[in-house]
A = this chain, B = another copy of it.
């Protein structure tokens, strides 16, 4: 068992993509789709799609295929997108601001309820309708509003420093844009890393070796 939920991580990685494609296909007017047709659109095998979906139950019907809208909704539920989780964003620099304004949190299972920065100069500035707060107010804010997820748009050092505090305040999930490996220090927590530097280095390799 690779993952607490008993489902392989590779399957979980594919779920958001299924969800995205089904969302697009929904707009085309057809009610049903077969694993074969979906596989051709997504560049997978039909077998893999059926295997993946059957980790969570039989959503299809023999001889018919899958109901697009129903499958989309089921995957949304599996991903927990129907249960908005309260998130706070730490670090209102370039990246933090972009994430706050650019991301469709609501349609991905989150609600952004607070933005924090240690720079006093930013305090009170409004981003996406939310005032930037001082990190000193984190304690009170968490007690009152009970966020369960933190988005880290701060440098490595600060992230490592703050992570323990955030866990103590009830944060269970991190969307981590900082270049630190939180899992090594805090094995229990849930972390989704977005290591843009690693991604860019990978692109470099692939361009070089294409």
A residues sitting closer than 8 Å to B (CB atoms) are 3-5, 12-13, 15-17, 19-20, 41-43, 78-81, 83, 85, 93-95, 97-99, 101-105, 107-110, 148-149, 172-173, 175, 179, 181, 183-184, 190, 192, 194-210
In the complex, which residue of chain B has the Cβ closest to the Cβ of A15? B205
Determine whether the beta carbon of B194 is less than 8 Å from that of A207: no
9 contacts between A and B (CB under 8 A): A12-B202, A41-B184, A42-B184, A93-B102, A95-B98, A173-B207, A173-B210, A192-B202, A192-B206
Residues from chain B with a CB closer than 8 A to the CB of A102 are 93-95, 196
Determine whether the beta carbon of A204 is less than 8 Å from that of B79: yes
Residues from chain B with a CB closer than 8 A to the CB of A80 are 204-205, 207-209
Q: Closest CB-CB distance, A208 to chain B, in whole Å?
A: 4
Tell which of B4, B99, B192, B195 touches A16, judged by Cβ atoms closer than 8 Å.
B195
**A80 CA to B205 CA in the complex, in Å?**
6
Q: Closest CB-CB distance, A105 to chain B, in whole Å?
A: 7
Determine whether the beta carbon of A184 is less than 8 Å from that of B43: yes
Determine whether the beta carbon of A16 is less than 8 Å from that of B190: no
Residues from chain B with a CB closer than 8 A to the CB of A198 are 16-17, 20
Tell which of B81, B202, B208 touches A201, judged by Cβ atoms closer than 8 Å.
B81
Determine whether the beta carbon of A175 is less than 8 Å from that of B200: yes
Determine whether the beta carbon of B85 is less than 8 Å from that of A204: yes
Determine whether the beta carbon of A83 is less than 8 Å from that of B208: yes
Tell which of B42, B99, B200 touches A110, judged by Cβ atoms closer than 8 Å.
B200
